[in-house]
Amino acid sequence: MTKSELIDRLAERVAPLQVPHGDVEMAVKLILDTVSRELAADRRVEIRGFGSFSVHHRDARTGRNPRTGVTVDIPPKRVPHFKPGKALRERVDRGNGNV
């Protein structure tokens, strides 16, 4: 599912509440922007029942170019990490896509 598909699906679900499509789009963008900003600031974001987003730190290391076999130095970096919550793991395991 793409971000625009997510926005469209949410807009359909809140249609009975007469929430404009633009407001749904803005809400989704604000949520994603806030999560991104918090991760960039090295802070954790937890959404109960869904999961948590955090930043993992990878140390510098020596790697190897698989094509040439030449060793290369890989600098340290920070990477986003998602850990699903128990409710999400159980729902995925059951395969229940209905809402």
Q: What is the dihedral of CA 11, 16, 97, 54, to 10 degrees?
A: 50
Sorted by where each starts, the structural domains of the chain and their CATH numbers stand as 3-94 (4.10.520.10)
The 10s digit of each residue's pLDDT in 45-81 is 999 999 999 999 999 999 999 999 999 999 999 999 9
Burial profile 17-56: b = 16 or more Cβ within 10 angstroms, e = fewer: eeeeeeebbeebeeeeeeeeeebeeeeebeeeeebebbee
Give residue 96's pLDDT: 66
pTM of the entire predicted model: 0.80
Q: How far is CA 65 from CA 15, 29, 78, in A?
A: 52, 38, 21
Tokens of 28: 């989704």
